[in-house]
């Protein structure tokens, strides 16, 4: 018991002297940092940096009971070994019962514009996969296309390089990762598949949990911030899925993936806007579907556009954004072989609501989602959402 007391005392005292500065939280897309970047930026020379973010949500589909949930609580820890070497980790508890390591990597600063990284890292695709702290986006829930197509939170084990050339207003990232897991033996002479039409690649995320790897995958991203208030991103991901050793040579055990992403964020005075487009082409899905008895599409695509306006004066610390977001995402944008496109997978959401930032790092959210798909008479339920988000 005494050991636990000493440990708690150490962590609490560290928190008091080394938490990240809340003034680094900004809604300016050119200056905005995500959780890992804030830890890497240090804290006035302290060796240990600590922070956290969390979301408590209420969701009520039309005609059903509502659900209350501590969706996630994430502890952020960083350690600076010297001026060049740092370690970053995020420990996440989801729904008060599931514990994950969301990030855990070493960053080594080779030069002013070159950092080498290795470990469990976020795949740099789109906006929300890297910037998913609750105070950084409007809407109680993350955009749905970021869940089923990107799919957030997408992290894998790998190595790579990152940096920025400020004279060119250009940031870059390039990593080699293990890929999605596609298939494994079910232990009864059959094959289990992790990828399917309803949520695309989401079920194949390995998350650093005894990850299978038989071929490397390449992820890159360029960010341009040379125009005041504007930040543009271009992401790519190329490679193949991974299958268990005993079945990786079966026809259809793996599929090929080519994914491209474009994103933009803009802020001018009290107005902000963002948009995103993702397209993924998947090869050999007809063979995969036949082997694993699934309905994975051969192409997925989605996009959204969003505008928001701060209803309070710009000089106020508090901000009250009214926003509307339109998104369309289709995990059956195309299919291969005899598989027919399922119109239920061609979905449209319109989300409108308020984000009330009562202090830097604390946001209250409320919105209503009008949800639909292309299948006639499917009757998708609209949804009312409320939430509390914190980040420090």
Q: What is the Cβ-side half-sphere exposure of residue 103, based on CA atoms within 13 angstroms?
A: 29
Instruction: Tell whether the model's pLDDT for residue 4 goes beyond 70.
Output: no
Q: Note the pLDDT of residue 44.
A: 52
What is the full DSSP assignment across 41-110?
A: T-STT-SEEEEEEEEEEEEEETTS--EEEEEEEEEEEEEESSSSEEEEEEEEEETTTEEEEEEEEEEEEE
Q: Note the pLDDT of residue 17.
A: 40
Position 378 confidence tier, pLDDT thresholds 50, 70, 90:
confident
Express each pLDDT in 303-314 by its tens digit.
999 999 999 999
Pairing of strands 256-268, 191-193: unpaired
Query: Domains, the chain, ranges and CATH?
Result: 2-391 (2.40.160.10)
- Tell me the average pLDDT of the chain: 92
Question: How many whole angstroms separate alpha carbon 117 and alpha carbon 106?
Answer: 6
Express each pLDDT in 327-349 by its tens digit.
999 999 999 999 999 999 999 99
Instruction: Tell whether the model's pLDDT for residue 180 goes beyond 80.
Output: yes
Position 43 confidence tier, pLDDT thresholds 50, 70, 90:
low
Instruction: Tell whether the model's pLDDT for residue 201 goes beyond 50.
Output: yes
Q: Note the pLDDT of residue 365.
A: 98
Percent of the chain whose pLDDT exceeds 70 = 93
- Run of H or E residues at 139: none
Instruction: Tell whether the model's pLDDT for residue 177 goes beyond 60.
Output: yes
DSSP state of 339: P
Q: Note the pLDDT of residue 45.
A: 62
DSSP state of 247: T
Instruction: Tell whether the model's pLDDT for residue 5 goes beyond 90.
Output: no
Backbone angles phi, psi at 22, to 5 degrees: -70, -20
Q: How far is CA 18 from CA 46, 47, 133, 134, 390, in A?
A: 6, 8, 20, 22, 18
Task: Copy the structure tokens of residue 108.
Answer: 């080594």
């Amino acid at each position: 018991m005494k050991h636990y007391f000493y440990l708690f005392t150490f962590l609490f005292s560290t928190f008091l002297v080394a938490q990240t500065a809340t003034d680094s939280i900004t809604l300016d897309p050119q200056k905005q940092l995500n959780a890992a970047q804030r830890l890497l930026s240090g804290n006035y020379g302290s060796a240990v940096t600590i922070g956290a973010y969390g979301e408590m949500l209420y969701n009520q589909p039309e005609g059903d009971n509502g659900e209350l949930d501590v969706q996630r609580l994430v502890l952020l820890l960083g350690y600076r070994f010297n001026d060049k070497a740092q370690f970053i980790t995020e420990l996440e508890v989801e729904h008060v019962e599931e514990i994950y390591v969301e990030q855990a990597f070493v960053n080594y600063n080779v030069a002013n514009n070159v950092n080498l990284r290795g470990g469990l890292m976020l795949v740099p695709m789109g906006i929300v996969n890297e910037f998913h702290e609750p105070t950084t986006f409007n809407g109680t829930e993350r955009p749905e296309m970021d869940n089923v197509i990107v799919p957030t939170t997408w992290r894998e084990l790998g190595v790579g390089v990152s940096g920025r050339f400020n004279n060119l207003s250009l940031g870059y990232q390039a990593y080699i990762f293990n890929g999605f897991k596609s298939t494994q033996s079910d232990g009864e002479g059959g094959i289990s598949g992790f990828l399917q039409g309803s949520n695309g690649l989401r079920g194949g995320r390995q998350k650093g949990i005894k990850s299978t790897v038989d071929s490397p995958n390449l992820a890159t991203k360029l960010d341009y911030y040379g125009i005041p208030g504007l930040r543009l991103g271009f992401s790519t991901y190329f490679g193949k899925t991974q299958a268990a050793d005993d079945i990786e040579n079966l026809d259809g055990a793996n599929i090929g993936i080519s994914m491209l992403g474009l994103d933009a964020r803009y802020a001018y005075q009290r107005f902000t806007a963002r948009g995103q487009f993702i397209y993924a082409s998947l090869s050999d899905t007809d063979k995969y579907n036949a082997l694993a008895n699934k309905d994975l599409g051969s192409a997925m695509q989605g996009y959204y556009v969003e505008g928001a306006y701060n209803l309070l004066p710009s000089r106020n610390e508090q901000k009250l954004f009214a926003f509307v977001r339109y998104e369309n995402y289709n995990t059956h944008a195309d299919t291969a072989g005899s598989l027919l496109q399922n119109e239920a997978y061609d979905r449209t959401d319109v989300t409108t609501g308020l984000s009330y930032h009562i202090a830097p790092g604390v946001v209250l959210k409320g919105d209503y989602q009008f949800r639909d798909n292309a299948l006639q008479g499917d009757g998708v339920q609209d949804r009312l959402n409320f939430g509390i988000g914190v980040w420090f």
